[in-house]
């Protein structure tokens, strides 16, 4: 892309697609302003002066990815009940969302590995809101002896891990998470985990 008007705007879809790919694949710490400029096709001073530099772009990408998920849940909230069936639906919705938007899980995995550790406050503006929204479904669905928050985090870790490497093949190598039969197997496994920790639906 050249240096026309659109490329000067950090909210331009092309700019957002490029920087999202860079941050989700490489992590914030490995990306430079020059890398962003080269990938977008603009001078580096456009990135630093008009985009706000990689820090501002990263914060926007991270917050937008999480907001996109919360909006998706909100748009289907009327169909998700606060019980075992609703929890299954919510988790499968998360799987589908992350398959369509793989940057969501990858950004979080980098973050868990202390990527962008100098940028404080992201969890309060993203993870805390995600958790609050999910617990509205998970809390009433689980048995009284189950820690709803720990369960929610466990399911997120399981899903995010699976989406990066699928089920290992016979040689222990990663496989595509949407490989034939693999995704159905994974969903069955999630459903069984949920069955073990939830109260029976009346």
Average model confidence (pLDDT) across the chain: 92
Contacts of 134 (CB under 8 A, 6+ apart): 73, 90, 152
2-49 pLDDT, tens per residue?
Answer: 444 556 688 889 999 999 999 999 999 999 999 999 999 999 999 999
pLDDT over 60 at 90, yes or no: yes
146-160 pLDDT, tens per residue?
Answer: 999 999 999 999 999
- pTM comes to 0.89
- Which tokens belong to 126? 């993203």
The per-residue pLDDT for 79 is 85
Distance CA 84, CA 195 (A): 7
97-110 pLDDT, tens per residue?
Answer: 999 999 999 999 99
58-73 pLDDT, tens per residue?
Answer: 999 999 999 999 999 9
pLDDT over 90 at 126, yes or no: yes
Q: Is the dihedral of CA 29, 34, 40, 46 positive or negative?
A: positive
The per-residue pLDDT for 2 is 43
Which of 6, 25, 197, 177 is CA-nearest to residue 103?
A: 25
Contacts of 25 (CB under 8 A, 6+ apart): 106
Which of 133, 173, 138 is CA-nearest to residue 152?
A: 138
Q: How many CB atoms lie within 10 A of CB 59?
A: 17
Measure the N-to-C terminal CA separation of the chain; round to a whole number of Å. Answer: 57
Distance CA 202, CA 200 (A): 6
From residue 2, how far is each of 15, 35, 46 by CA, in Å? 11, 15, 12
The per-residue pLDDT for 199 is 81
The per-residue pLDDT for 9 is 81
């Amino acid at each position: 892309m050249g240096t026309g008007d659109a490329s000067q705007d950090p909210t331009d879809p092309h700019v957002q697609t490029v920087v999202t790919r860079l941050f989700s694949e490489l992590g914030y710490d490995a990306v430079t302003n020059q890398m962003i400029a080269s990938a977008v096709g603009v001078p580096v001073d456009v990135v630093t002066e008009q985009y706000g530099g990689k820090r501002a772009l990263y914060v926007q990408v991270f917050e937008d990815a999480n907001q996109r998920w919360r909006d998706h849940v909100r748009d289907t909230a009327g169909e998700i009940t606060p019980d075992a069936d609703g929890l299954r639906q919510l988790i499968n919705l998360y799987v589908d969302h992350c398959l369509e938007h793989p940057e969501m899980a990858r950004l979080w995995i980098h973050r868990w590995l202390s990527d962008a550790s100098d940028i404080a406050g992201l969890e309060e503006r993203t993870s805390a809101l995600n958790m609050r929204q999910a617990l509205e479904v998970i809390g009433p669905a689980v048995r009284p002896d189950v820690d709803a928050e720990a369960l929610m985090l466990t399911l997120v870790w399981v899903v995010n891990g699976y989406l990066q490497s699928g089920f290992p093949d016979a040689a222990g190598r990663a496989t595509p998470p949407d490989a034939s039969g693999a995704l159905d197997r994974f969903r069955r496994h999630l459903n069984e985990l949920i069955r073990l920790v939830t109260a029976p639906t009346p």
